[in-house]
Amino acid sequence: MLLVCGIISALSYRNDISNDLISALERLEYRGYDSAGIAYLDNGNELKRIRTVGKVQQLKEAVEKANVKSHIGIGHTRWATHGKVTEFNAHPHVTDGVAVVHNGIIENYQDLRKRLISEGYTFESETDTEVIAKLVASHIKTGKTFLDAFKCAIAEFTGTFAIVAIYEKEPSLLLGAKRGSPMAVGISPDKQSAYIASDAVALSTLVDELVYLEEGDIVVVKKDAQLSYEIFDASGSCTNRQVVQNKVSLNDVTKNGYETFMLKEIFEEAAVARRTYERFNYDTEVAKYDNISIIACGTSYYAGVLSKYWIEEIAKVHVDVEIASEFRYRKPVMRKNSLYIFISQSGETIDTLCAMRLVKEAGMKTLALVNVDTSSIAREADYIVKIEAGVEVGVASTKAFVAQTLSLLIMCAGKSAVHIDDIEHSINSILNGNYDFAGLANKLKDSRCLFYIGRGTSYPIALEGALKIKELSYISAEGYPSGEIKHGPIAIIDENVYTIALAPFDQYFEKTVSNTQEILARNGKVLLITTEDARASLHGLDENANVECVFLPKCETLYYPFALTTTIHLLAYHTAKAKGYDVDKPRNLAKSVTVE
Ligand code: F6R
């Protein structure tokens, strides 16, 4: 498996592009944060490189120390795939004056590496990226121009990737290629600088308008009398791609007074729900299908699991929910008159994208529920429903989950049947309520492992709660249907294990409470998250020394998942904080998974 890294590159009339590269890498850090680096041509057009292991801050300090003056450069923040986290493996990779950065994977790199070794090249890293620099350099050696050498090299690669390259003998040329991984190009409003980057977040504050490359495109950025770029499509023909506004604002990519992006994004959940509701104007008519299949990964998958309860109950349509990485590799039977819904915050998750391609090949209708409407999944689907979460920078998805689930509820119930005031109020009552989530997190943080349990629509929230705890606090946490605990997992329960039971006062309340009794009988500890109207029905449970209770405000049963979502997000946040971890950049993760 491989996660996307971040790319930025610049060609300018100015001599200070290192500032732009570093500020963009800071914004891109959520893409990968094992190591980072830049390569640039100095005033004498000599290729220089600075790489550091760790966060972008380390690179920033090294670049400041080196007093970089440059008009052209490329930068990268890495999430390790091929090769460990070392300076040698960090990008850019450099050979004979060619420097490259790369997202994605070169699948045939072993064969190319052998060939290049036989041509006399020696490799200093364990990465697939180094073959790119060497292959371009080897084509230049045969007399080709930088552009022709780049094109020849790209044609030899298999896999999915986004690549940017510079060459010290052609100091006014910046080249990029896109296959599978996203890439965008734009020129600054003052026409002084041009940039190629892996996403609009990198380009925010740098360009107002940008162009997203299409599959197989090569972009050539040139500096002559003026800055310009040309795009060549997969067949090599010069082409035009649509210019779009860069919708990412400074507010989207700054913490705005919050300590972390994750906290800022949790505190946006009520506003995101309101915005998603107000802008929702899709006629999706789920009830006209005989079957709905929902395919996604991670948190997006859990949004799908929640919607199954709603769609089957409200629209009375059968729903399957599948993990994309499994769906795409089995031989799924596609049913007639089915709608296939692909949920993805980023719109770039490769397993979800490939599952969608499989469904399209079978002639089925596909709907993308995405946050990024310029993403690959959005572009390839038959229908798009865009959620209005805004840019999500925290690696753990939070506000997007709220927008996804709300959109799915509107899709099956109809807009007029969904009371956004109640949902907004319900989320706000958690955000602004007098809850000691930090105190509760202190109790959870030393648990040997955690269970999150729930029934009905609380079960998918339990799954989401457990995922958030494990990815941020590194505590092994499992989401389970309450009724399933005694079919095995209860063996794990002892005095060192906390179970978080999601039990609003709905039709499942009594059952979940009796499951917590089974846990208490085995000396387990319980954090019961319920609602105010359940107090009288607890029968002393809240007085048990091994039980902590949180009472959420009562609301319509249909909307409990929203209050519970904000609650479990805050609990995950505070548990990670209590353990002293970086919530925005949890270890081993990055934001979007663009290669399987
Ligand atoms: C968890 C999380 C991931 C993503 C998953 C799918 O907090 O963020 O599990 O939900 O990688 O990503 P998208 O929705 O971009 O397809």
Mean pLDDT of 585-589: 78
For residue 8, the cross-strand partners are 75, 197
What are the pLDDT digits (tens) for 334-357?
998 999 999 999 998 989 999 999
Query: Exactly one of 134, 223, 386, 591 is catalytic; which is it?
Result: 591
CA of 396 to the centre of ligand 1 (A): 7
Query: Where in the chain do CATH 3.40.50.10490 domains reside?
Result: 255-418, 435-596
| The one catalytic residue among 5, 412, 449, 555 | 5
Model confidence at 2: pLDDT above 50? no
pLDDT at 252: 85
Residue 141 annotated to the active site: no
299 lines ligand 1 (CB under 6 A): yes
Residue with CA nearest ligand 1 atom 9? 298
Contact between 326 and 301 under an 8 Å Cβ cutoff? The reply is no
Q: Is 368 helix (H, G, I), strand (E, B) or coil?
A: strand
User: Within 10 Å of residue 184's Cβ, how many Cβ atoms?
Assistant: 27
Residue 422, Cβ density class (10 Å: 0-12 exposed, 13-18 middle, ≥19 buried)? middle
Single pTM value for the model: 0.87
- For ligand 1, whether the C-beta of 516 sits within 6 Å is no
Specify whether 591 is catalytic: yes
* pLDDT at 3 exceeding the cut of 90: no
The answer to whether residues 109 and 131 touch, using CB atoms and an 8 Å cutoff, is: yes
pLDDT, residue 461, reads 98
What distance in Å separates the CA atoms of residue 376 and residue 353, rounded to the nearest whole number?
Answer: 7
Task: Specify the range with the lowest mean pLDDT, choosing from 69-83, 153-167, 371-385.
Answer: 69-83
Query: Which superfamily does 435-596 belong to?
Result: Glucose-6-phosphate isomerase like protein; domain 1 (3.40.50.10490)
Angle, in degrees to the nearest 10, between helices 399-413 and 269-279? 30
3-state secondary structure of 221: strand
- The atom of ligand 1 lying closest to the CA of 401 is 10
The CATH number that domain 6-253 falls under is 3.60.20.10
Average pLDDT over residues 226-254: 92
Report the separation in Å between the CA atom of 346 and the middle of ligand 1, taken as the mean of its atom positions. Answer: 8
**Is the pLDDT reported for residue 594 higher than 80?**
no
Ligand 1 centroid – CA 246 distance (Å): 23
CB-ligand 1 contact for 344 (6 Å cutoff) = yes
pLDDT of 501 > 60? The answer is yes
Torsion of CA 304, 202, 200, 328, to 10 degrees: -40
Residue ranges of the chain that CATH labels 3.60.20.10: 6-253
Distance, CA 395 to ligand 1 centroid (Å)?
Answer: 8
Question: Ligand 1 centroid vs 543 CA: distance in angstroms?
Answer: 38
Percentage of the chain surpassing pLDDT 70?
97
Q: Is ligand 1 within 6 A of the CB of residue 298?
A: yes
- Confirm or reject: Cβ of 463 under 6 Å from ligand 1: no
Q: Per-residue pLDDT tens for 105-143?
A: 899 999 999 999 999 999 988 888 899 999 999 999 999
> What is 255-418's CATH number?
3.40.50.10490
Query: 297: Cβ below 6 Å to ligand 1?
Result: yes
- Each residue's pLDDT tens digit, 254-311: 888 999 999 999 999 999 999 999 999 998 889 899 999 999 999 999 999 999 999 9
> How many CB atoms lie under 10 A from the CB of residue 177?
27
Q: What is the pLDDT of residue 456?
A: 97
**Does residue 586 line the site of ligand 1, with CB under 6 A?**
no
